[in-house]
Amino acid sequence: MKKLLVFVIFVFFAAALTLTAQEKEKILNIQKAYVFLEEEMLVNETDLNCSYFIKDRVPQDIRIMGNHSVTSERKSFSDNDELVINRGARDGLKEGDMLMIMSQGQVIRHPRNHDRLGHYFLKKSLAQITCLYDRQAVIRLQKGCNPVHVGDFAILYKPEATLFAKRADYKLCRIPTDAVSGLVVYADLALGVPAELSADTQYVSVDLGEGVVGRGTFLLFYRNLASDLPPLIIGLGVVIHSENTNSTVKILDAGSDMRVGDHVLVLPRATAPGKPGQAGGEDLPIVETLPGEEGLPGEEGAAMGAALNISILFEFDSDKPIADQAADYAAIRDFIAGKSEYLVTMRGYTCSIGGEGYNLRLSSRRVEAIKKLLVEQYGIDSGHIETFFYGEKDPQFDNSTEVERCKNRLVKIEVNGR
């Protein structure tokens, strides 16, 4: 009996050592194969909700018809002002619906051939329906970036995904000969006033449209100085909106001011960041603004003053926290109380056990579970929450032991406000 017991113990320890060796080998292979990309927010909420686009027409059935306050002499309106629109419940609108307030400007034509590209449309502000009547409704402006006027029109607001990715780094000195190319056809200074020059973070339009480019496409700007000189690369941009005839581009880097007539080309696929699961590119962390999640335009945590940091650990292969975090959730609620601006940033992680795709989804579930709790039980505005999830990538600890792996099953929360 003793011999049998000794034999069983020996077999058990031998199997345990083998599994440990295999696990360490797996971890080492993952770490050698993956180089974490340094992403940044390339297209933010401000770019999506405060820019312009050029299009032939946009439905304009919903119109602002008047000011809903005692100061009737006002002509321009901004955040928290209430206005009246000419559509109501019988037109299918509901209390709580979000609208995008816009205005239509001049016709824009191609600078070379004078073909019509479309009308200039400026995004001005978001608005929420607060009071509904049969044929009218009261709206309250929020997150505005341009003055709103009576006569402006509105469309139902559809939140769009921000872009969090690695910036393209084009190091070649020669212009590729086989790349799709176009021209800068319009530069916007402010409020629809055309400008000849644009710099970093401003917008331009190019004559490359849908089917050729889309949101997240990187474009290289260059200028021909003289026929006997090589082209001069002057900047980098990313597409934020595409239409049939043109696209709106955010300038990321500018070694020189951009001008109408400057050349652009679509960067070859190899120089642009890959998409999740796409051959030839690294899997990027998923950063989505889902319907109903409106970020805080133009704000970054480091610039918002006071900060609160919280880490929530999870059970293995679960979106349930290990401990009761009620005190931490209450601390978040109390921290933002009385602050006019705040942003709750949530980042989800997993340990290295399991497939990369599964772990990416698991980290997403963990983030969304905490977000739902904060919104439904603690009254945090979902529009002030941004979520990121990385799966097993960018581990906070080295995954070499079970103790370390436990530390990687977490959601990190950073709250900034002022």
316 shares its domain with 401: yes
Asked if the structure places residue 284 within a domain, the reply is no
173 shares its domain with 151: no
- Model confidence band, residue 63 (pLDDT cutoffs 50, 70, 90): very high
- 275 vs 4, which has greater pLDDT? 4
pLDDT score of 59 more than 80: yes
With a CB cutoff of 8 Å and minimum separation 6, the contacts of 314 are: 320, 321, 322, 366, 409, 410, 411
Asked if the structure places residue 13 within a domain, the reply is yes
Write out pLDDT tens, residues 163-189: 888 888 776 666 776 778 899 999 876
Highest mean pLDDT among 56-65, 337-346, 354-363: 56-65
* Nearest by Cα to 332 from 365, 377, 366: 377
Q: Give me the residues paired with residue 248 across strands.
A: 205, 241
* pTM of the entire predicted model: 0.57
Asked if the structure places residue 287 within a domain, the reply is no
Q: What is the mean pLDDT of the chain?
A: 80
172 shares its domain with 117: no
Asked if the structure places residue 82 within a domain, the reply is yes
117 shares its domain with 68: yes
Write out pLDDT tens, residues 286-296: 333 333 333 33
pLDDT score of 22 more than 70: no
Q: How far apart are CA 252 and CA 240, in angstroms?
A: 12
Check residue 284 and report its DSSP letter: P
pLDDT score of 192 more than 90: no
User: End-to-end alpha-carbon separation of the chain, Å?
Assistant: 72
Q: What is the CATH number of the domain that holds 183?
A: 2.40.10
Q: What is the CATH number of the domain that holds 346?
A: 3.30.1330.60
The count of structural domains within the chain is 4
380 shares its domain with 341: yes
324 shares its domain with 363: yes
Q: What is the pLDDT of residue 293?
A: 36
Write out pLDDT tens, residues 110-131: 999 899 999 999 999 999 999 9
142 shares its domain with 171: no
pLDDT score of 301 more than 50: no
260 shares its domain with 340: no
Q: What is the pLDDT of residue 27?
A: 37
Cβ 43 vs Cβ 160: under 8 Å: no
Residue that finishes a domain, picked among 219, 254, 271:
271
pLDDT score of 16 more than 70: no
Asked if the structure places residue 311 within a domain, the reply is yes
pLDDT score of 275 more than 80: no
* Nearest by Cα to 301 from 262, 347, 256, 260: 347
Q: How far apart are CA 281 and CA 275, in angstroms?
A: 6
182 shares its domain with 101: no
53 shares its domain with 152: yes
178 shares its domain with 237: yes
Cβ 415 vs Cβ 296: under 8 Å: no
68 shares its domain with 150: yes
Asked if the structure places residue 41 within a domain, the reply is no
Asked if the structure places residue 42 within a domain, the reply is no
With a CB cutoff of 8 Å and minimum separation 6, the contacts of 211 are: none
Q: Tell me which residue range forms the domain holding 71.
A: 47-156
pLDDT score of 97 more than 90: yes
Q: What is the pLDDT of residue 270?
A: 47
Cβ 28 vs Cβ 95: under 8 Å: no
Asked if the structure places residue 293 within a domain, the reply is no
54: its two tokens: 């050029």
Q: What is the pLDDT of residue 404?
A: 87
Return the HEC string of 59-116. Answer: CCCEEEEEECCCCCCCCCECCCCEEEECCCHHHCCCCCCEEEEEEEEEEEECCCCCCE
